[in-house]
Amino acid sequence: MSFCTREIHLAARPAGAPGAEHFTLTEVRLPELAEGQVLVRNTWMSVDPYMRGRMDDAPSYIPPFELGKPLEGSAVGEVVASRSADVPVGATVSHFLGWREHSVVDAAGAVVVDTSRLPASTYLGPLGTTGLTAYLALTDIAPVREGDTVYVSAAAGAVGSVAGQIARRLGAGRVIGSAGGPAKTALLMEEFGYDAAVDHRLGDLPGRLAAAAPEGIDVYLDSVGGDHLRAALEAMNQRGRVALVGAVSGYNDAEPAPGPDLYRAATKELSLRGMIVGHHLDRFPEFLGKAVPWLLDGSLRTRETVYEGLDRAPEALRGVLQGANTGKMLVRL
Ligand code: NAP
């Protein structure tokens, strides 16, 4: 029994911000299931800033999307047909073949998730690589120590909204976040447990950061790069720790912007470490052992921004690169 589904394909590679012309919504006939495969009706797909980098034909830690082929990324859905004893019909699974309404997935690439206590979309946000990124950044890459002042950029986003709360649990004395606009900065303090919030849209980031962290910063989780990394390095204390998690401010740049003065990192004896969450997936059990109870007792607070329907997925990707989201950007399929 084969049938048709809809997928988003890469139509052209953007120079600068992606537009509607870079995507096509395409109807395709799915192949018959092979032994060991399952058919998933996707219910949610994740929209992540790194996906913009995969639209370029440039070498990176993950291959570019192919022209004329579907995009991919994390998704969850319900198994509607199965040729695997391990993954039965009716199971909810997370997998990596998003950007389509149905996916044919090898059972080995599908993780059965428990939706009896927490909604399926949680596995793309706080219980997905989003949450794991925040946790690893602050435990391994730039470990938080008791009493530290921790600064998180893109703090109202998916990683940042979780990171501030994890920093607090790890013993941070003061947690500062930056976000764009008054609604997001208010949310940082009212909902996500930040002590102080900096609105980067108001300009003078170094001055605002100095006012929010008069004693300096010990740990910086950098999701933005550019002006944010520059300002944070200025404010870092001796032997501070920086987790280089992302640089979203430059993802749409056609030409590289002048970089931060990384000489600061040398003169302050800083440790700057990058990270790719996909290289630390063995840490999921440890992280879930902590994060599931936090979500169940309500102490870890999260938000979702939801766009409806696969047709709106390109708009969601454009939006996540420009701050249209609070918390995790998702598409409900
Ligand atoms: P997100 O924070 O939910 O969304 C991106 C946010 O970036 C936007 O909402 C916007 O928030 C902010 N932003 C965009 N342009 C900006 C600019 N020029 N200056 C300041 N802020 C800007 O996305 P996410 O999924 O949680 O990812 C956050 C970062 O972590 C990204 O850089 C991503 O690539 C990275 N990441 C890395 C790994 C890894 O393995 N290393 C894993 C996951 C995520 P405002 O409205 O507040 O500006």
For residue 49, give the CATH number of its domain.
3.90.180.10
111 and 136 housed in the same domain: no
Distance 223 CA to ligand 1 centre (A): 5
Instruction: pLDDT band for 2, please (50, 70, 90 cuts).
Output: low
Taking 90 as the threshold, does the pLDDT of residue 122 lie above it? yes
Domain edge (last residue) among 245, 261, 278: 278
106 and 142 housed in the same domain: no
Tokens found for residue 290 = 């902590």
pLDDT at 268: 85
Taking 60 as the threshold, does the pLDDT of residue 1 lie above it? no
Please, what sign has the CA dihedral across residues 84, 87, 92, 96? negative
Tokens found for residue 6 = 């809809």
Indicate the range of 104-108, 247-251, 260-264 predicted with least confidence: 260-264
Domain with 237 in it: 129-278
Q: What is the pLDDT of residues 146-165, one digit of tens each?
A: 999 999 999 999 999 999 99
Taking 90 as the threshold, does the pLDDT of residue 140 lie above it? yes
Please, what sign has the CA dihedral across residues 225, 231, 234, 236? negative
Ligand 1 binding site (Cβ under 6 Å of any ligand atom): 48-50, 129-130, 133, 154, 156-160, 179-180, 184, 200, 223-224, 245-246, 248-249, 275-277, 320-321, 323, 325, 329
Question: What is 37-53 written as a DSSP string?
Answer: EEEEEEEEEE--THHHH
pTM of the predicted protein model: 0.95
- Indicate whether 291 belongs to any domain: no
For range 299-320, the mean pLDDT: 98
What is the average pLDDT score of the chain?
Answer: 96
- Indicate whether 38 belongs to any domain: yes
106 and 9 housed in the same domain: yes
- Indicate whether 188 belongs to any domain: yes
- The DSSP letter of residue 24 is E
Closest by Cα among 289, 282, 269, 149 to 221: 149
Distance 180 CA to ligand 1 centre (A): 11
Indicate the range of 3-7, 189-193, 229-233, 254-258 predicted with least confidence: 254-258
169 and 273 housed in the same domain: yes
| Total domain count, the chain | 2
CB atoms within 10 A of CB 266: 10
- The DSSP letter of residue 307 is E
